[in-house]
Structure 1
Amino acid sequence: MHVGVVVNPIAGMGGRVGLKGTDGKLEAALERGADPWAPDRARRALDRLAELAPDATVSTVAAPMGERLVRAAGFKPERVVDPFDDPMPAVDVGDVPTETTAEHTRVAAERLAAAGVDLVLFVGGDGTATDVASALEGDDTPMLGVPAGVKVYSSVFGVSPEDAAEVAVRFSRTERREVMDIDEDAYREGEVVPTLRGIAHVPVAENLQASKQTASGTVESLAEGVAADIRARDGDGVTYVLGPGSTVGAIKSALGFEPSPIGVDVWRDGAVVARDAAESAIVDELDGEAVIVVSPIGGQGFVFGRGNPQLSPAVIREAEVQIVASRAKLDTVRTLRVDTDDPALDESLAGWVRVRVGKFETRMMRIV
């Protein structure tokens, strides 16, 4: 087995600081104190790959796009491709990454495919997936994503970094799957319109995520019921961390305020105390009893880890979790999933949970 590894070192950095992505926003993310996230996700995948296939042949990309991480996992790269040759701009390879470009990713993927890898294992989000798919267009080399972006709608990613490594080792055939992406500027304004960016050859496996789907069905009764329960506790000092998306957005509207549709809003004692809050602002408000209200992504079933990185392990550990969803949305998923970037927390969240689907009704679902 010959695996090609390419890492987008800045993928996902804008998420926890409330930027909904990093495309064109790296400087702003760094100013808000964002830390690199993708390298840690890559390390988890590579460590698992080393456990399962220590003798695998690995080719990778010059730092900061994979080489140091591959070596740290114990592999000696057969080939290190360099996408930073002129005329493309040089990239600072210090501890804090500077902005690598889509062209760097495309060149890296092209050169890995030319090196004869059996699979391009990339680390990033939908933008990275689009770049890799573009580079491999017309080539039968399969691709597989380690999820490390803010929005991960495409069906070319493993459910977790470890799952991606397991798929890379064990797959025996491929199928054509969708690569989706959205306009991040429109996304920051609350408009979510996934667009098909390409079709890629992807390993066939159970532990791959599905494409995001949009659920139909009314949520008015659900929103009214949850909002009534929240209002009943106004004055008790309970902090409600209200996640992104249209379902929880309907609850925010029922509470009487204009929601930030893809952001996290914080409510306490009858008032919004933080709007479109980054992780740090949410943590600052967690003093006493707290409840996170969140809805899974239709089609995928992710409760945490897709589209809501502000709801970090530091936030989740300090609050009760209430999951809400329309019946129509739950009909699009068989199980719920979490990918918090904290395996111990993921394990603690796993199991059967009660999901509120109406004013009073609930449905049992399993987080796997």
Structure 2
Amino acid sequence: MATTLGDAMFTLGLIVNPFAGLGGPLGMKGSDNLDPAGIKDQDIGRSSARAMRCLERIADKANDKITVFGFAGLMAGQWQGGDNAMLAGLPFCSVGSVDNPYQSTALDTQRAAITLVNKGVDLLLFVGGDGTARDILSAVGTKVPCLGVPAGVKMHSGVYAVSPESAADIVVALIAGGLVALCEQEVRDIDEVAFRAGQVRSAHFGEMLVPSIGGFLQHVKAGGREQEELVLADIADDVVESMSMDTQYLIGPGSTTAAVMLRLGLENTLLGFDAILNNTLIGRDLNALALEKLLDNHQGPVMVIITAIGGQGHILGRGNQQLTPAIIQKIGRENFTVIATKTKISELQGRPLLVDSNDAELDRAWEGYIPVLTGYRDVVMYKVSASGE
């Protein structure tokens, strides 16, 4: 069943490498250099079957809360991700197809990945091995969270779930509002020619942003609760260490954001916006007009640090209405950093973070999944909604 972009809150990009795992039975120690013409019917099926194991589990637990995006039709003579998604009973939206369905190459994987990122998917799920991970990395880098379903011969990279089912569980946890950590994991691969000669040469090619099911990973005490003061200090350390010169920072209301100002040793407006440039306070308790003037007079990058209202989960439209729809649009969603403790996120009990800017179209554009900084170098993915659903 086909659908259109925006019909489901969680959007999953899907790529299935039809060659993944075929080199093992052929004694090739990998599948990077397989010739499509040499593949026999009995060789086909490993990657598709493992994709189905993952997708059927997702469909069983979250069918009405997800839409799958990907290429439709054949790739290297095998059905691509779209057909697997529909066979699993998941809503699917096609974003293209390969030019030559019987002579597919790594370029098709890369083109599919770029297309899916441009569509704004929340997560890119790919089925393959280390070669597939390298193709995805070269195409999208860290622009979107990615997660691998293991199907290859070589599995040196840290971007793969331990099984198709565990990959599905991570996706389901994301949809359910669980604490899903987002961290950089290595993409590694070996030289297949050297490996066939008995030499193992593993190389590092970069990092992907990868979700994994997490919990309270730092500063816990009996009962598994965070020590808030310590966690706020960790969050503040991360924010301050990430600050760049000549970038204008707008620090929003709240005790969580106040920790950032404390870390900088600057005076803080607990219920208002303060502006920082090159570690200097250049504006205090700014209203909408003052914010607009500040933005007009600044030529460099702008970043906004905001937090969620405890218990409610609002990140826009409650307590920070100095940010008008026009200001939010001018700054851009990608230039907002949301910070919150994991305790605050957990207290939402799976409910989404909320946006209510007084502009319905803008609020809808914010829907999806965003990274939330929850500690020092500790980020989780969490859903955002305009309706609270």
Q: TM-score, normalised by structure 1?
A: 0.50
**Given the alignment, which residue of 115, 137, 148 partners 2:151?**
148
SS of residue matched to 1:45: helix
SS of residue matched to 1:19: coil
Task: Tell me the alpha carbon deviations over residues 140-169 of structure 1, each in whole angstroms, 9 at most, x when there is no partner.
Answer: x10000000001110000100010111122
The answer for the alignment partner of 1:81 in structure 2 is 95
**Higher helix proportion (structure 1 or 2):** 2
Task: Tell me the alpha carbon deviations over residues 6-29 of structure 1, each in whole angstroms, 9 at most, x when there is no partner.
Answer: 100111111022111122223586
**Given the alignment, which residue of 39, 48, 58 partners 2:57?**
48
Going from structure 1 to structure 2, the CA distance change for 1:182 and 1:161 (only over 3 Å counts) comes to same
SS of residue matched to 2:183: strand
Going from structure 1 to structure 2, the CA distance change for 1:32 and 1:193 (only over 3 Å counts) comes to farther
Q: CA deviation at 1:39?
A: 0.5
Going from structure 1 to structure 2, the CA distance change for 1:163 and 1:57 (only over 3 Å counts) comes to same
Residue 101 of structure 2 is aligned to residue 91 of structure 1: yes
**Given the alignment, which residue of 39, 45, 54 partners 1:36?**
45
Q: CA deviation at 1:83?
A: 4.5
SS of residue matched to 2:43: coil
Residue 171 of structure 2 is aligned to residue 168 of structure 1: yes
SS of residue matched to 1:197: strand
Distance 2:169 2:62 in 1: 9
Going from structure 1 to structure 2, the CA distance change for 1:22 and 1:29 (only over 3 Å counts) comes to farther
The answer for the alignment partner of 1:183 in structure 2 is 191
Distance 1:37 1:62 in 2: 18
Distance 1:108 1:52 in 2: 26
Q: Is the 8 A contact 2:114 2:140 kept in 1?
A: yes
Distance 2:133 2:36 in 1: 22
Letter in 2 for 1:80: S
Letter in 2 for 1:148: A
Q: CA RMSD in A?
A: 2.1
Q: CA deviation at 1:52?
A: 1.7
Q: CA deviation at 1:33?
A: 5.2
**Given the alignment, which residue of 54, 74, 81 partners 1:66?**
81
Q: CA deviation at 1:188?
A: 1.3
Q: Is the 8 A contact 2:19 2:34 kept in 1?
A: no
Q: TM-score, normalised by structure 2?
A: 0.47
Q: CA deviation at 1:173?
A: 3.5
Distance 1:123 1:54 in 2: 20
Going from structure 1 to structure 2, the CA distance change for 1:152 and 1:83 (only over 3 Å counts) comes to same
Letter in 1 for 2:154: K
Q: CA deviation at 1:30?
A: 2.5
Distance 1:31 1:69 in 2: 20
Distance 2:54 2:25 in 1: 21
Letter in 2 for 1:57: T
Distance 2:42 2:16 in 1: 21
Going from structure 1 to structure 2, the CA distance change for 1:39 and 1:190 (only over 3 Å counts) comes to same
Q: Is the 8 A contact 2:55 2:168 kept in 1?
A: yes
Q: Is the 8 A contact 1:83 1:107 kept in 2?
A: no
Unpaired runs of at least 5, structure 2: 1-9, 75-79, 175-179, 215-389
Unpaired runs of at least 5, structure 1: 93-98, 207-368
Q: Is the 8 A contact 1:147 1:157 kept in 2?
A: yes
Runs of 4+ in 1 over 2 A off after TM superposition: 25-36
Distance 2:43 2:90 in 1: 29
SS of residue matched to 2:60: helix
Distance 1:52 1:193 in 2: 40
Identity of aligned residues (%): 42
SS of residue matched to 2:199: coil
Letter in 1 for 2:161: G
Q: Is the 8 A contact 1:11 1:37 kept in 2?
A: yes
Q: Is the 8 A contact 1:9 1:38 kept in 2?
A: yes
Number of residue pairs matched by the alignment: 195
